[in-house]
Amino acid sequence: MMLMFLKSFTLTSLKPEAMIIIHKTGTGINSNMNKAIAKLFGNKPGQNILESIVRKCHRYMGIGTGDDVYFSGEKGAVEKMKEISRPPFMIFDVGSHRGQYLDVVLSVMENDDFRAHCFEPSPRLFSSLSARAAKDSRVVVNNIGLGKQSSQMELYYDAEDTGGSLTKRKLDHIGITKWLSETVSIDTVDNYCAENRIDFISLLKADIEGHEMDLISGAERMFQANAIKMVTFEFGGCNIDTKTYFQDYFYFFQSIKMDLYRITPSGYLFPLPSYREIDEQFRTSNFAAINNNI
């Protein structure tokens, strides 16, 4: 039976045109194989096995690995930025938390000519970020967030040692029903760049718990000026609460002629040339958009 399963997997790896032909012919082998496999896994243990296989496959595709910056492949994305841009590099780390992503940046950049601007609105986390950043004079830290407009907003979090979101999430299904909050300051990419005379961003990294589209809205001038070479952003469960979809990101970047990729744990950027509903995976994953017209 396992041999039949593996044979079926081989068949499904064929090109779509070949699969259509196989399906239409309705060969006895193919039909019987599908029925046998469906029967084999048509029970709770079988479904659990399939889900386990899918989760493992997803892991190495980069789907669901976004919470671990040291395995997510984001280091490879920083290395890609170095390949496609020229120094001095300008990096925006939006949603710095305690500086985990900054660690990755510093491990890649080493003696390169760069400037990293980190943004973390939570006072609870900012002290840890500041301590990390103090080790390198090329890093600038800001106790603000970046979004679609300058404002004071509530940041919701469930425990003192966790990050937060500008949206109060619905997480009853994992036992989180009570929220703490703190008032934080939000600015925009455009305002910050104008005030600090920044006219080009080599890499704009966004990890702001479902509000990445707000960040993009607040960077309208920089995008229109073709002044952002590469964007990396997180997409996952938070987007359910903010009701933003991968489709929103895809069509935005397509409209400004930026190519979209999924970041895999190896650092390989898997191209996504067209929108597909299968990419609406609400498990924390990282994507990259690259402006190849600069």
DSSP-assigned states of every residue in 278-290: GG---S-EEEEEE
Residue 162's pLDDT is: 87
Q: Rounded to the nearest 5 degrees, what angle is found at the Cα of 240, between the Cα atoms of 159 and 266?
A: 80
Confidence of residue 122 (pLDDT cuts 50, 70, 90): very high
DSSP assignment letter at 165: B
Structure-token pair, residue 278: 């299968």
Nearest-10 crossing angle of helices 123-133, 100-109: 20
Res. 8: pLDDT tops 60: no
Q: What is the mean pLDDT of residues 133-150?
A: 97
Whether pLDDT at 246 is above 90: yes
Determine contact, residues 231/260, Cβ cutoff 8 Å: no
* Closest C-alpha to 229, from 256, 260, 198, 203: 203
Q: Has residue 15 got a pLDDT over 50?
A: no
- Tokens at 141, concatenated: 């830290």
Question: Residue 28: pLDDT band by 50, 70, 90 thresholds?
Answer: low
pLDDT for 16 beyond 60:
no
Confidence of residue 13 (pLDDT cuts 50, 70, 90): very low
**Residue 98 tokens, joined:** 């305690």
Check: CB of residue 182 under 8 Å from CB of residue 154.
Answer: yes
Give alpha helix (H) positions in the chain: 2-12, 16-25, 28-40, 44-61, 74-84, 100-109, 123-133, 189-195, 212-217, 220-224, 238-242, 246-255
Percent of the chain beyond pLDDT 70?
A: 90
- Which of the four pLDDT bands, split at 50, 70 and 90, describes residue 14? very low
What is the rounded average pLDDT of the residues 32-47? 94
Position 117 scores a pLDDT of 98
pLDDT of residue 25: 46
Peptide bond into 88 cis (omega under 30): yes
* Contact criterion met (CB below 8 Å) for 33 and 4: yes
Q: Given the DSSP bridges, would you call strands 230-235 and 285-291 parallel, antiparallel or unpaired?
A: antiparallel
CATH class of this structure's domain 74-291: alpha beta
Among the residue ranges 1-15, 44-58, 171-185, 211-225, the one predicted with the least confidence is 1-15
Strand arrangement, sheet containing 285-291: 139-142, 114-119, 89-94, 203-206, 230-235, 285-291, 258-263, 269-271
Predicted local confidence at residue 5, as pLDDT: 44
For the segment 217-235, the average pLDDT, to the nearest whole number, is 98
User: Could you identify the residue written with the tokens 């960040």?
Assistant: 215
- Yes or no: say if 207 and 234 are a contact pair by the CB < 8 Å rule: yes
Q: What is the mean pLDDT of residues 201-214?
A: 97
Q: What does the pLDDT read at residue 19? A: 38
Structure confidence at residue 158 (pLDDT): 94
As a whole number, mean pLDDT of residues 139-162 equals 95
| Distance in angstroms (rounded) separating the CA atoms of residues 287 and 47 | 29
Q: Which residue type, as a one-letter code, is found at position 167?
A: T
Q: What is the pLDDT of residues 65-98, one digit of tens each?
A: 988 999 999 999 999 999 999 999 999 999 999 9
- Count of CB atoms situated within 10 Å of the CB of 261: 21
Q: Pick 6 or 191 by higher pLDDT.
A: 191
Q: Residues of the chain with pLDDT > 90: what percent?
A: 85
C-alpha to C-alpha distance for 164 and 210, rounded to whole angstroms: 10
Domain positions in the chain are 2-61, 74-291
C-alpha–C-alpha distance, residues 56 and 73, integer Å: 16
On whether the CB atoms of residues 113 and 257 are closer than 8 A, the answer is no
